[in-house]
Amino acid sequence: MEERYPNENVLQLAERVISTGKGITESEAAALQSAPLDILCEAASRITAACASHKFDTCSIINGKSGKCPEDCKWCAQSAHWHSDVSEYPLADTERLLDAALCSRSRGIGRFSIVTSGRKLTHAEVRQLCDSVRVLSEKAGISLCLSAGLLPDDDMKALAEAGISRYHCNLETAPSYFGRLCTTHTQAEKTATLKAASRAGMEICSGGIIGMGESMAQRIELALVLRDLGVRSVPVNILSPIHGTPLENEPLIPEDEILRTIAILRFILPDAALRFAGGRARLSPQAVLQAYRTGINAAIMGDMLTTAGADIDMDMARVREAGYEL
């Protein structure tokens, strides 16, 4: 494969992406698996500089409803099927959400996302959340995002009218691998959810988790599906094996593999916001900086849903060091 893809061809492929603005094909992405990592990262960096936003897109999340989820996602501590130590509480009230949103804005974060456990919110919970969102829209001064499960069109419309501008629903992994990780809902239901959010006038945010036993080919498969859906905000999570879940003993993927994945994603999704999300706190400072230079131009700042995140001030310093605006 390397004979078919010598170093100069990797850089030429990047120049084609830059000149056309179009991502590469599945076979081209597969060939990049064997490219030298330093050349691949350099080529992806050129695409990022030419095609993606130079303003680093920041967001924060709050676990707005935790635990007791009926779904059997093998990676998730909030599933009622597993025996983890995650907290359990109902939908957060307006005061708690507003305090968190104002805190995020005070730290210079551009978007605040409410994430809730469960298959989907009930209609009553949606009405409660709409009331809260209207207050946040008036008082928080920050863009609002929501991740609340497999909601139908009428709930999406109500939330959009209340002030939610972006909806998040991760596809999590490739269609060919999803059934090995979750059996209580399908990717087709997730795709329908994203389309419902789009019909309601919201932006859509969707990505996945790497390191759950999938192959690089399956990460490429996921990226191509996201591109076909027109997703522009793509969270890149790195599995943090959580005690009590079926993936608790999954080996950690090495930093070089993470960087290779990010580089290939940039070749496929040249203008997307590739968003560092859960799991990056375990990476070395050098790997984080290289990831930013290679293709990561967005991030969830602060803590994640059930795991600790990166230090916000340190994260922002690395973002500036990588050459982005904040």
Q: Is there a contact between 97 and 132 (Cβ–Cβ < 8 Å)? A: yes
Domain span at residue 49 reads 7-321
Helix (H, G, I), strand (E, B) or coil at 85: coil
**With 90 as the cut, is the pLDDT of residue 77 above it?**
no
Q: Residue 311: pLDDT above 90?
A: no
Q: Is residue 1 part of a domain?
A: no
Q: Which helix H or strand E contains 252, and what residues bound it?
A: none
Contact assessment for residue 232 and residue 271, using Cβ atoms and an 8 Å cutoff:
yes
Residue in the block written with tokens 């920050």: 142
Of 104-113, 155-164, 218-227, the range with the lowest mean pLDDT is: 104-113
The model's confidence at residue 306, banded by pLDDT at 50, 70 and 90, is very low
What CATH number has the domain bearing residue 86? 3.20.20.70
Task: Give me Rg for the CA atoms of the chain.
Answer: 19
Res. 7 pLDDT band, cuts 50 70 90: low
Cβ contact 147:168 at 8 Å: yes
Split into its structural domains, the chain has a count of 1
Average pLDDT of 242-270?
A: 96
Instruction: Please report whether residue 176 resides in a domain.
Output: yes
Average pLDDT for the chain: 93
For the ranges 3-7, 76-80, 98-102, the lowest mean pLDDT is seen at: 3-7
pLDDT at 309: 55
Asked whether residue 291 is domain-assigned, the answer is yes
- Check: CB of residue 155 under 8 Å from CB of residue 133: no
Residue 168 lies in a domain: yes
Q: Within a domain: residue 2?
A: no
pTM, two decimal places:
0.93
The pLDDT score that the predictor gives to residue 44 is 98
The answer to the question of residue 326 being in a domain is no
Hey, which bits of 245-284 come out as E strands? 273-276
Give the confidence band of 307 by pLDDT, cuts at 50, 70, 90. Answer: very low
What is the predicted pLDDT for the residue at 304? Answer: 47
pLDDT digits 0-9 by tens, 80-123: 888 877 788 999 999 999 999 999 999 899 999 999 999 999 99
Task: Return d(Cα 58, Cα 124) in angstroms, integer.
Answer: 30
